[in-house]
Structure 1
Amino acid sequence: MAEIDLSAVFDAMPVGCAVLTNDLRYVTVNRAYERLAGQPRERLLGRHFYEMFPGGPGGHGISDVRASLERVAAEGETEVMPLLRYDVERADRPGDYEERYWSVRNAPLFDSAGRVIALIHRAEEVTAYIKQLHQGHPSGEPAAARVEAVEAELFARARELQDVNQRLHQAQEDERRANAAMRDALRRQQQAVADTSHDLRGPLTGLQTRLQLALTDPEADSQEVLHAALHDADRLGEIVTDLLELARLEAGAPVQTETVDLARLVEDELAGREPDVAVATRLERGLLVRGSAIRLARLLDNLVSNAERHAGSRVEVRLSCTDGHAVLEVLDDGPGIPPGEREAVFRRFYRRPDARSREPEGTGLGLAIARQIAGAHDGTLHIADRTSGTCMVVRLPLSPG
Structure 2
Amino acid sequence: MMDSRVDCRAVFKAIVSPLLVMTPHFVVVAANDSFLKLVGRSQADLLGRDFFAVFPGNPNAPNDPDVQGVMRLHASLVRVVATGQRDTMALQRYDIEASGIPGVFEERYWSTINMPVLDPDGEVELIVLRTEDVTEFLQQLRLSGERDVTRARSELEAMRTDLYARACELQELNEELKQAHRQQRQTTSMLREAIERQRRFVFDASHDLRNPITGLLAELEVAIAEPDSDLHQLLRKLLLDAERLNDIVNDLLELARLDAAPPAPTEPVDLTQLVIDELKRRTLTVAVVTRLERQVVVNASRIRLARLLGNLVNNAERHTSTVIEISVTGDPPDAVLEVIDDGPGIAPADRERIFERLFRLDDACRRDPGGSGLGLPIAREIAHAYGGRLYAADHPTGARFVLRLPLAA
Mean CA deviation greater in 369-378 or 208-217: 208-217
- Pick one of 294, 317, 326 that aligns with 2:326: 317
Q: Structure 2 counterpart of 1:344, which letter?
A: R
- Measured in 2, the distance between the counterparts of 1:298 and 1:70 equals 54
Report whether the alignment pairs 1:132 with 2:140: yes
Paired residues of 1:73 and 1:116 also in contact (CA < 8 A): no
Q: Give SS of 2:337's match.
A: strand
Of residues 381, 386, 393 in structure 2, which corresponds to 1:372?
381
Q: Does residue 227 in structure 1 map to residue 236 in structure 2?
A: yes
Residue 283 (structure 2) pairs with residue 281 (structure 1):
no
Unaligned runs of 5+ in 1: 1-10, 90-98
Structure-1 residue corresponding to 2:166: 157
Q: In 2, distance between residues paired with 1:108 and 1:394?
A: 52
* 1:3 alignment counterpart: none
Q: Which amino acid aligns with 1:325?
A: D
The letter for the 2-side match of 1:139 is: D
Q: Residues 352-391 of structure 1, C-alpha deviation per residue, up to 9 Å, x if partnerless?
A: 3333333333222111111111111111111111111221
Residue 23 (structure 1) aligns with: 25
The yes-or-no answer on 1:102 pairing with 2:109 is yes
Mark the CA change 1:328 to 1:59 in structure 2 (over 3 Å): closer, same or farther: closer
The yes-or-no answer on 1:358 pairing with 2:367 is yes
The Cα of 1:268 is off from its aligned counterpart by 1.0
TM-superposition CA deviations, 1:115-147 (whole Å, max 9, x none): 998767463432452343254555334999788
Distance 2:297 2:337 in 1: 12
Residue 23 of structure 1 aligns with an amino acid whose one-letter code is H
Q: RMSD in angstroms over aligned alpha carbons? A: 4.2
**TM-score normalised by structure 1 residue count:** 0.75
Unaligned runs of at least 5 residues, structure 2: 1-11, 62-66, 100-105
Find the aligned partners of 1:53 and 1:256 in 2 and give their Cα distance: 59
Retained in 1: the 8 A contact 2:144–2:156?
A: no
| Residue-by-residue CA offset, 1:12-66 (whole Å, 9 max, x unaligned) | xx9978774333246899xxx9866669xxx99x9558679967xx9999x9755
Change (3 A) 1:244 1:27: farther
CA distance in 1, matches of 2:183, 2:312: 38
Paired amino acid for 2:134: V
| CA distance 1:120–1:259, change in 2 (3 Å) | farther
SS of the residue 1:319 aligns to: strand
- Partner Cα distance (1:51, 1:327) in 2: 54
Matching of residue 391 in structure 1 with residue 368 in structure 2: no
* Contact 2:272 2:328 (C-alpha < 8 Å) held by counterparts: yes
Distance 1:185 1:51, change over 3 A: closer
Question: Deviation per CA, 1:44-91, whole angstroms, max 9, x where unpaired?
Answer: 9x9558679967xx9999x975554445557989875643455999xx
The 2-side partners of 1:107 and 1:260 are apart by 61
Q: How does 1:47-196 map to 2 (within 5 A)?
A: 47=47, 66=70, 68-70=72-74, 80=90, 82-84=92-94, 86=96, 101-104=108-111, 121=129, 123-137=131-145, 139-141=148-150, 149=158, 152-196=161-205
Find the partner of 1:347 among 352, 356, 360: 356
Give a deviation string over 1:273-330, Cα, whole Å, max 9, x none: 1212221211222222121111111101111121122222211111112240111111
**Cα distance in 1 for residues equivalent to 2:108 and 2:222:** 92
Residues 102, 123 of structure 1: 8 Å contact kept: no
| C-alpha separation in 2, matches of 1:303 and 1:233 | 23
**Residues 128 and 69 of structure 1, relative CA distance in 2, 3 Å threshold:** closer
AA at the equivalent of 1:328: L
- Report the Cα distance in structure 1 between the residues aligned to 2:59 and 2:364, rounded to whole angstroms: 74
Change (3 A) 1:28 1:243: farther
Residues 148 and 34 of structure 1: CA distance in aligned 2, closer, same or farther (over 3 Å): farther
